[in-house]
Every structure is written in C-alpha cells, then in structure tokens.
Structure 1
Amino acid sequence: MAREIITLACTECKRRNYTTTKNKQKHPERLELRKYCKWCRKHTIHREVK
C-alpha cells in the first residue's frame, strides 16, 4: 500500500494533534505543516513523527 497514516506533532509543546496520510514512495522526507495547536492556542509548525 502506497499511502500510509502519519501523525503530526506540535514543535512547541510536542503533543500529537493531527493524523493524515501521505505517499511515502513519492515523498520520503518528513512532512511539515503550519497548523493550529489547541494547547498552545496558536498556529505552530507541526512535524511528522514516528
């Protein structure tokens, strides 16, 4: 299966807030998105974690 479920964690508070899917064959690098963190109460960078 090409698409895999990944988890996104806030870089400031380290909480795992979001899950999404990505094609690891086309994009092997770690995903980085700017999303809202409800614990920090602001938009922060969320990175893909294991």
Structure 2
Amino acid sequence: MSSKRKIALACSVCGSRNYTITENPNRTERLEVKKFCKYCNKHTLHRETK
C-alpha cells in the first residue's frame, strides 16, 4: 500500500507555506507556480519545498 506524501508550496517573498500538494515522483525539478499569498496580499511565485 503506497501512501500519498504531501509537499508544501512556500511563497518566494515572505517564505510562508500557504499551499499543500501531493508529491509527484515523476517530476524532477521543483514546481514553481504563481499563487495568491494572503500574507503579502498579492500574487507571488510559490516554490515546492521538501
């Protein structure tokens, strides 16, 4: 039985971890997505953390 691992997306401006996604073992480089940060109050680049 395989378990789904959770990965956090951290804001590149303030560093807060606002979003979680399930891990994709096929992805080699870190995911980078523009998402809304409630602490910065604007859309910023969010990066996958380990």
Report the TM-score when normalising by structure 1: 0.83
- Structure showing greater radius of gyration is 2
Aligned residues: 49
CA distance in 2, matches of 1:31, 1:4: 15
> In percent, how many aligned pairs have the same letter?
53
**Structure 1 residues not aligned, in runs of 5+:** none
Q: CA RMSD in A?
A: 1.6
TM-score, with structure 2 as normaliser: 0.83
Q: Which 5+ residue runs of structure 2 have no aligned equivalent? A: none
More strand by share: 1
Displaced runs of 4+ in structure 1, greater than 6 A? none
